[in-house]
Amino acid sequence: MKTAYSCLWGLIVIAIALSTAIARAKTPATQPTVSLLAMGDWGNGTQDQKTVADRLADVASKQTIPVNAMLLAGDNFYVPLSGIDDPTWQTLFEKMYDPVRMPMPFYVALGNHDYEDHKAQTELEYAKVHPESRWKLPDHWYRVDFPADHPLVSLLVLDSNKDNLSADQWSQQLTWLETQLAKPRNGAWMMAMAHHTIFSNGAHGDNGVLMTDWGTLFKKYNLDIYLCGHDHDLQHLEIPGWYTSFMLVGGGGAARRPMRVDNRGPFSRAILGFANLVFTPDTMTAHYISGADGSEVHRFVRHRDGTVEVQFTTPSDKATTQQLRVFQGLGN
CATH number of the domain encompassing residue 265: 3.60.21.10
- 168 lies in a domain? yes
φ, ψ at 235 (rounded to 5°): -145, 150
Query: For the chain, how many structural domains are there in total?
Result: 1
Q: CA 48, 52, 55, 61 torsion: positive or negative?
A: negative
At 332 the pLDDT is: 57
Tens-digit pLDDT profile for residues 192-217: 999 999 999 999 999 999 999 999 99
- 70 lies in a domain? yes
- 179 lies in a domain? yes
At 3 the pLDDT is: 52
Is the model's pLDDT at 139 over the cut of 50? yes
Tens-digit pLDDT profile for residues 146-175: 999 999 999 999 999 999 999 999 999 999
Q: Where are the alpha helices (DSSP H) in 63-207?
A: 88-89, 119-129, 167-182
Tens-digit pLDDT profile for residues 89-106: 999 999 999 999 999 999
At 331 the pLDDT is: 56
- 18 lies in a domain? no
- 25 lies in a domain? no
**Confidence class of residue 13 from pLDDT cuts 50, 70 and 90?**
very low
Residue 241 half-sphere exposure, CB side, CA atoms within 13 Å?
4
From CA 70, how far away is CA 234, in angstroms rounded? 17
DSSP code per residue over 204-218: S---HHHHHHTHHHH
Helix (H) or strand (E) holding 14: helix 2-26
- 308 lies in a domain? yes
Is the model's pLDDT at 23 over the cut of 50? no
Domain region containing 211:
32-327
Tens-digit pLDDT profile for residues 36-55: 999 999 999 999 999 999 99
Tens-digit pLDDT profile for residues 247-301: 999 999 999 999 999 999 999 999 999 999 999 999 999 999 999 999 999 999 9
At 322 the pLDDT is: 74
* Least reliable range by pLDDT among 25-29, 70-74, 318-322: 25-29
Task: Give me the chain's average pLDDT, please.
Answer: 91
* Strand 273-279 to 189-193 pairing: unpaired
Most confidently predicted of 185-189, 309-313, 322-326? 309-313
Is the model's pLDDT at 327 over the cut of 90? no
Query: Between these two residues, 83 and 24, which has the higher pLDDT value?
Result: 83
At 12 the pLDDT is: 47
Query: Between these two residues, 35 and 11, which has the higher pLDDT value?
Result: 35
At 31 the pLDDT is: 79
Region 315-325 average pLDDT: 84
Percent of the chain at pLDDT > 90 equals: 86
From CA 156, how far away is CA 71, in angstroms rounded? 11
In a 10 Å sphere around its CB, with 0-12 CB exposed, 13-18 middle and 19+ buried, how is residue 280 labelled?
A: middle
Instruction: Enumerate residues 6+ apart whose C-beta is below 8 A from 249.
Output: 38, 39, 40, 73, 227, 228, 229, 234, 273, 274, 275
- 183 lies in a domain? yes
- 7 lies in a domain? no
Amino acid at 255: A
CB 195 within 8 A of CB 108: no
Query: Between these two residues, 13 and 183, which has the higher pLDDT value?
Result: 183
Cα three-residue angle 211-230-302, rounded to 5 degrees: 65
At 187 the pLDDT is: 80
Task: Give the DSSP letter of residue 64.
Answer: S
The percent of the chain in helix, strand and coil, each rounded to the nearest 5, is 30, 25, 45
Secondary structure (3-state) at 300: strand
Is the model's pLDDT at 2 over the cut of 70? no
Secondary structure (3-state) at 281: coil
pTM above threshold 0.85: yes
* Strand 153-157 to 266-269 pairing: unpaired
